[in-house]
A and B are shown apart, each in its own frame.
Chain A
């Protein structure tokens, strides 16, 4: 009795298994349904496309961002030169993922170095400047190691660069943080073993409204003068308001705001180049 019930149970489970096997494949289901519906040859149903998840490339940001080195500078050079450079830049970007970053973000760069053990060296630092246009675009990373301030200027499209990771994506109040050389060292120190801070691929980039405390004067440049237009320094701790007002008044150039020769409107160029680069990258 027990044996036959066991056998029956096995039979039942096997039937259930077969049934689940039958209905797992939708093609099978479809064909079987049709066969039961009418006695016609089953219609060809193409198999479902496989979903490839590329785990090596991190999720691309859906922010509309065009790297500043794509925008050509004002000048009399032939636009064809910049077009050729852009093509090469896109080719390099397909080989190496250059992420979106701004001045003030913390990056980690591994570069090929013949003399280092393991043939690579890794440097972590805060980006203080992004210069150059085209293939010669550079960015300067600053960090303080063992009490010594170190700045390394990397070329974005150099073949020696193996990875660029953004550990912390943020913007600062200025587009040029060279004044960190004259600021207190705590503002330039970045932990080399810092863990990447997660950031969302959508939405606004966070602006760090940090105002930096400076070392006593003299500084490498007169950062208080209006030509630099720096927002991110605590001037009230360095000089009196009267001194600040004096300097701002003396070195002010109020006519520069109205000088039409100095205007360079890049909005249309940017849109064109953005569309072009997106097209090339998606090919």
Chain B
């Protein structure tokens, strides 16, 4: 008699159950990952974005090994269903993250989907993408009185130093 009920107890399981089964889950993640590599910023449901995040980072780790590495090439050609993205991965994304050792992706939550399901949505992007930032940096307003006075003070100081 098996004392552990492997199917019912999920202690220590890291992979979420998605789609119709393990194969379907991998296929779904493959599609999302291909979309991410093509567009560098995508929005999906929160759970899918969270799952893809791990695979996206591991794919970059493999890409860093270089396209001469057999295992890296096999991984890239498996995970990217559109084969024109394989050179993009090795030539554009891998050099971009050369200096970083981890943390190549960023995930942010979005308002829930407008459909009946009101699903939790998230946006997932590779860092260093050409789009405007997800969290825009708020610049201080230069036209307030205090900022104008400070600006004048700084200019006077630089003039004094120059003389």
Contacts and interface: CB of A to CB of B under 8 A. Distances in A.
A193 interface: no
6 contacts: A253-B23, A258-B74, A258-B75, A260-B54, A260-B62, A261-B15
Given A260-B54, A260-B55, A260-B58, A255 B26 contact: yes
Nearest to A73: B12
B30 to A, nearest CB: 9
Interface range, A side: under 10
Interface of A: 75-76, 253, 255, 258-261
Interface residues of B, number: 15
Nearest to B11: A75
A259 B62 CA distance: 13
A75 B11 CA distance: 10
B95 interface: no
A258 B54 CA distance: 13
Interface in B7-38: 12, 14-15, 22-23, 26
A261 B54 contact: yes
Given A258-B79, A261-B15, 20 more contacts: A75-B12, A76-B12, A253-B22, A253-B23, A255-B22, A255-B26, A258-B26, A258-B74, A258-B75, A258-B78, A259-B26, A260-B54, A260-B55, A260-B58, A260-B59, A260-B62, A260-B75, A261-B14, A261-B54, A261-B55
B34 to A, nearest CB: 14
Nearest to B78: A258
Contacts of A255: 22-23, 26
Contacts of B62: 260
Contacts of B12: 75-76
A76 B14 CA distance: 11
Contacts of B23: 253, 255
Interface string B58-76: 1100100000000000110
B104 to A, nearest CB: 14
A76 B78 CA distance: 29
Contacts of B14: 261
Contacts of A260: 54-55, 58-59, 62, 75
Nearest to B14: A261
A259 B12 CA distance: 17
Contacts of B22: 253, 255
